Amino acid sequence: MSEGTARAPREERPAFYALAPGGWRDYWSLLHPPYTLWHLSYVVFGAATAPAVDLGWLAETLVAFFLALGIAAHALDELRGRPLRTQIPGSVLVGLAVIGLAGAVALGVHGALEVSPWLSAFIAVGGFLVVAYNLELLGGRFHSDTWFALAWGGFPVLTGAFAQGGRLGAASVLVAGGCVALSIAQRRLSTPVRMLRRRVEGVEGRLRLRDGTERPLSANDLRDAPERALRALSVAVPLLALGVLVARL
């Protein structure tokens, strides 16, 4: 680089876990690994509220949610606006969404036949939430912090509990409420982080301290604390779920 030539600014990744676009890296980013694992942990919390934990049904419920949330929901989300800036063709994203949702429904039908026919209601609600939330149906009415928390916080807990024996108890409802609140906290942290990473070109300003000194303010300063909290929580919640499961076995 010749003297006086400005270096092009480095483009921010759309998420802390996103890799450089192209090839297999796009599919890793599409899975949102830390957040998918975080929300799959809620299934474990729900199963742990049952009188006895059946590992077979827990595994099947986890696979169903991975297909519905980790693959189908995220594929539909990327199809609408390319928030992760992947190069995955639209037809492939549609195919992933269909396959993921169909697989989740098939596993749900198996559970309805073996555990309780009432699991059919969970299948219907789950399928609706995947499509309505991620495609922002009805003018985005279901694409809100509240619906995010209900769909990906409370619903996995209740489904994980019900799949264990075909019933819900007070403990399941309480844990679901806690996971709804935790999901709202996640959303409150992640929304400004996403905006800073994906939409903000620059930040100008200074912090004026009470001792009279000043410090420059940057986008990294605004993003650092909430993103560090999200990273920590994405590790803490799965570890808590694993610990709870081990304690129940």
Output the tens digit of pLDDT for each of the chain's 249 residues: 444 333 334 568 899 999 999 999 999 999 999 999 999 999 999 999 999 999 999 999 999 999 999 999 999 999 988 999 999 999 999 999 999 999 999 999 999 999 999 999 999 999 999 999 998 888 888 889 999 999 999 999 999 999 999 999 999 999 999 999 999 999 999 999 999 998 888 888 898 999 889 998 888 889 999 999 999 999 999 999 999 999 998
pTM for the full model?
0.91
Q: Which domains does the chain have, with CATH numbers?
A: 25-173+238-248 (1.10.357)
Among 98, 47, 40, 95, smallest CA distance to 65 is for 40
